[in-house]
A and B are shown apart, each in its own frame.
Chain A
Amino acid sequence: MVGQQCFEVVAGMQWVSSGFIFRHMESPVHSLDPRTRLLFAVELFVLALVADSPLEVSIVSIVVVSLAIVAKIAKRLVRTMSFTAGFAVMILVINMLVGQPLVYSIVLAIRFIAIVGGTSLFFLTTSPDELEYVMKWFRLPQDMVFAFVTAVRFVPVLMLDATQIMDAQKSRGLEMQKGNFIKRIRNFIPVLVPLVVTAVIRSGELAEAMESRAYGAVKKPSSLYALRMRKRDWATGAISVMLLVVSLYYFLVIAPIG
């Protein structure tokens, strides 16, 4: 019974988290340069902030959803959104409780969904590899980029560690799904402590391996691949900027809310 529950919780967590994880796919959006996709995300963010009527925020949301459909990630975006919807409802309720008008609260809630949606669109279609190149392109310090890379790279490794430690502790009688909320959180301590210890040991070994592979030998490391803007990346980017200008003009000048 407890095992079944445990399994359901883990399955549920995986269902939600898989909405955030990049998967290799072929689509017109995936094949664009990551910088063009980042531009999309920024544009959608600006639009969502500027939009201030239910109609306008809905338009932005519809654009996000249609882009997701083109990118073939609509299903996974919905998963991410199912998580976000809870927060959106909270925003709606809290705003109404503090006395904001209903329309304004609705705009805020939908705006939140649109912003999270637009951002997820970028992260769901961008591989960690591409993210790294974008970070390098922004001239972020090598240490920072490398910290990001290792953090993402070792997520599956740490997940495996955590599962093994959980199994080990369970076989020694730790019941993770028992007791009230506080008790359950405390149940995680016997998992967390060894997990942190192994992670620290691992980081020591990583440091050795980095040194042995000449990390930091030159100030500006070269790279096997480089980002390249092709014609269609420029074209798509330019069209999206034009659309942004038109939409901003409509949102701010033609249909400003009184």
Chain B
Amino acid sequence: MKPLIQVQNYSFTYMGTSRPAARNVNLEIGEGEIVILAGPSGCGKSTVLKSLNGLIPHLYSGSREGTVIVDGHDVAETQVSEVAKKVGFVFQNPENQIFMFSVERDVAFALENLGFPRDEIRRRVDWALDLMGIQRLARQAPHELSDGQRQRVAIAGVLAMTPKVLILDEPTSLLDPLTARELVLLVKRLHDELGITVLVVEHRLDLLAGIASRIIVMDRGTVAMDGSPREVLARKEALTIGVGVPTVTRLYGLLTDHGLNLGQAPLRMEELAEAVNRLVP
């Protein structure tokens, strides 16, 4: 099967800078994966994300090498609005991506821009609001919402375009722990129900590692590690590069160093508890 996203020998240097923000990146992401993109600030995550939905090179100029192909289209050769229909991009701060005075009109924003007929817009808006569980907020103004609700509105706004890929840029950074947990469960549900491919950039992986099928770690503009969360997060390099390895996985590392044989690396507290339980007679 052909992968949905193909990044080949991709490098990008922003105009006015000398150091490339992305260096010789190679990625293949298949349909239906949940992928975490991790790495320290300035490692090139944002550059890769923006290259996936066409903001680079259409909005940001600079020198570029290699190709980015999404769903069979070369992103650099396709209009951003065309790519937007395939790649839904939810930015870090939901405040700056809600434009309209009411929730439902904001969810309709992209559909209006694409010139959909009115009944189709209505149908899709209701569908997206329902999916995100915010139907009752339809008439609210954006400044009346909580951060978590605003995040959902932002996601509904891109889901209305029925994209194949959902990109979330640090979706939990502004949320309290409970709301963050709800959001992670929601992402999992969207993936299961829609079969949508999810690409999440995140620093704190305690919550997300459990639902991801794969984690890609970037460092200094290039891909440093790529594999299943269990495998990648248990490696020592994950910590030295500066990935927010889940506490439970770190504890597992320490215990293993002390000579305990706990089997495969855990991602959730329950898994470690079970492994320890098995050791104790």
The interface of chain A, by Cβ under 8 A from chain B, is 127-129, 132, 146, 149-150, 152-153, 156-157, 202, 205-218, 220-226
Does any Cβ of A come within 8 Å of B73's Cβ?
no
The answer to whether B118 touches A222, judged by C-beta atoms less than 8 angstroms apart, is: yes
**A223-B118 in contact (CB<8A):** yes
CB atoms of B110 and A224 under 8 A apart: no
A218 touches B99 (CB 8 A): no
Q: Nearest Cβ in chain A — how far from B152, in angstroms?
A: 16
Interface of chain B residues 38 through 61 with chain A (CB within 8 A): 50, 53-55, 58-59
Q: State A225–B106 Cα separation when bound (angstroms).
A: 12
Contact of A224 among B82, B85, B122, B142 (CB under 8 A): B122
| Chain B interface residues (CB < 8 Å from chain A) | 50, 53-55, 58-59, 79-82, 84-85, 88-89, 91, 93, 95-102, 104-105, 108-118, 121-122, 125, 142-143, 157-158, 161
Give Cα distance in the complex from A222 to B116, angstroms.
Answer: 6
Q: How far is the CA of A209 from the CA of B118 in the complex (A)?
A: 23
The 4 closest A-B pairs by CB, nearest first: A217-B81, A209-B97, A218-B115, A214-B81
* Docked-complex contact A224 and B121, CB < 8 angstroms: yes
| Contact in complex: B53, A153 (CB < 8 Å) | no
User: What are 26 pairs between A and B in contact, CB < 8 Å?
Assistant: A127-B101, A129-B100, A132-B101, A153-B99, A153-B142, A157-B143, A205-B91, A209-B96, A210-B99, A211-B58, A211-B59, A212-B91, A214-B85, A214-B114, A221-B112, A221-B114, A222-B112, A222-B115, A222-B116, A222-B121, A223-B121, A224-B104, A224-B118, A224-B121, A225-B105, A226-B118
Docked Cα-Cα span, A218 to B85, in Å, equals: 13
A217→B114 contact, CB < 8 A: yes
Known: A214-B113, A218-B114. 11 other contacts (CB 8 A): A127-B101, A129-B101, A153-B101, A206-B99, A211-B59, A213-B84, A213-B113, A213-B157, A218-B113, A220-B115, A224-B104
Which B residue sits closest to A157, measured CB to CB?
B95
A220–B80 CA distance with the chains assembled, in angstroms: 17
Across the interface, name the chain A residue whose C-beta is closest to B110: A213
Q: How far is the CB of B213 from chain A (nearest CB, A)?
A: 24
Instruction: Determine if B84 and A211 form an interchain contact, defined as CB atoms under 8 angstroms apart.
Output: yes
Task: Chain B residues near A207: list those with CB within 8 A.
Answer: 59
Shortest Cβ gap from A82 to chain B (Å): 26
- The smallest beta-carbon distance between A105 and chain B, in angstroms, is 42
The residue among A132, A210, A213, A220 with the most chain B CB atoms within 10 A of its own CB is: A213
Q: Report Cα–Cα, A208/B96, bound state, in Å.
A: 9
Determine whether the beta carbon of B110 is less than 8 Å from that of A211: no
Chain B residues near A146 (CB-CB < 8 A): 99
Residues of chain B contacted by A208 (CB below 8 angstroms): 50, 55, 59, 91
Which B residues touch A222, using CB under 8 A?
Answer: 111-112, 115-118, 121
Chain A minimum-CB-distance residue to B139:
A24
B55: shortest Cβ distance to chain A, in Å? 6
Tell me which residues across on chain B come within 8 A of A215, comparing CB atoms.
81, 113
Q: Which residues of A contact B58 (CB under 8 A)?
A: 211
User: Given A149-B99, A220-B115, A226-B118, A213–B158 Cβ distance below 8 Å?
Assistant: yes
